[in-house]
Amino acid sequence: MAHKPIAVSMGDPAGVGLEIAARAFAAQSVQPGAPRFFLVGDANAAARAARRIGLDLPLRKVGAAAQVADTAPDALPVLHVPLAMEETPGEPDPVNAHAIIESIAVATAAAASGAASAIVTLPIAKAPLYQAGFPFPGHTEFVAHLCEALPYERTRGPVMLLAGEGLRVALATIHISLAEAIDHLSTELLIRTVRVVHEAMRSDFGLAAPRIALAGLNPHAGEGGSLGREELEIINPAAGELRAEGIDVADARPADTLFHAEARAGYDVAIAMYHDQGLIPVKTLDFWGAVNVTLGLPIVRTSPDHGTGFDIAGKGLARPESFIAALQMARDMAARRKG
């Protein structure tokens, strides 16, 4: 049976998102078996973005996500969500915030209804959305909010996972300051995070017995308590409770030795205690191909692991590899859930 198409939210139209979507669609003609997707966003903005980088992007508007399957594959289907004003590359405007938010909501609804197999979210800029009253820290939390009423049999997230070449890292805390992240850490939080990750590795990534590593918060994983006690009082107690449940998770390990090649061979996924602790190694190892995944949701959601690229928007410099990898990962995750 053919896979349902993937819904792609447009992100900030002043950034590179629509450009990389156009490049990815153009590449599908020479990539047999590439995941089929449709855009949720402003069709005119998508056409303008393609023209700026020298592409003639064939588009076909659809009235509902369910109609995408009936459209010919020679044009990119677009579920039109109009902008309030025409975008200017590199200059985000909160006037368009409503359309950006609506695009995410409509794409999520398509996946929730089964009209789409998954969603891939193109990058947003948070500041213009905050100026327009957006109350969520980011994509991850907003999509989780939209899915709150949907049934889900496993441990509910959201948990943010970054997956690149040879490395997967999930985050115990996400879009909060470093000081807040330290205060936010708790044994209960880590137990829930590891459960989400463990279940997702099995159901979404096909690992029968995932091995999980925990990064220490402090230098040298606290050096037995002399450089900080979070490992002894929070992280290691969580690991002990999880091992009692049958989950393969080790006590906290020093983060500075957790991500080299030999260390990575010893686990399937690592859990970082705060945002940059996890993103730095992933982006260092696979800057162009890494994918952002939200675990613990009733729907599959992935995203390119890069930002809006306002500095290069409209210049033809944006590369689509991370977006293409996000499409492929979303398709594979959705297929495993159905299988």
Buried b / exposed e over 281-316, threshold 16 CB at 10 Å, is bbbebbeebbbbbbbbbbbbbbbbbbbbbbebbbee
**How high is the pLDDT of residue 1?**
38
Q: For the chain, list the domains and their CATH numbers.
A: 1-152+306-339 (3.40.718.10), 154-296 (3.40.718.10)
Residue 30 pLDDT > 80, yes or no?
no
| Residues written for the chain | 339
Helix, strand, coil proportions of the chain in percent (round to 5)?
A: 45, 15, 40
Residue 155 has, within 13 A of its CA and on its CB side, a CA count of 17
**How high is the pLDDT of residue 8?**
98
Residue 281, preceding peptide bond in cis (omega within 30° of 0): no
pLDDT digits (tens, 9 = 90+) for 251-299: 999 999 999 999 999 999 999 999 999 999 999 998 888 999 999 999 9
pLDDT digits (tens, 9 = 90+) for 175-197: 889 999 999 999 999 999 999 99
**How high is the pLDDT of residue 73?**
85
Residues in contact with 52: Cβ distance below 8 Å, sequence separation at least 6, in sequence order: 19, 89, 314, 316
Average pLDDT over residues 3-24: 96
Residues in contact with 75: Cβ distance below 8 Å, sequence separation at least 6, in sequence order: 58, 59, 60
Predicted TM-score of the model (pTM): 0.93
Tokens in use for 136? 């969520």
194: left (phi over 0), alpha (psi -120 to 50) or beta: alpha
pLDDT digits (tens, 9 = 90+) for 223-248: 999 999 999 999 999 999 999 999 99
Whether the CB-CB separation of 213 and 266 falls below 8 Å is answered with yes
User: What DSSP character marks residue 336?
Assistant: H
Residues in contact with 283: Cβ distance below 8 Å, sequence separation at least 6, in sequence order: 162, 164, 290, 305
Average pLDDT over residues 313-319: 94
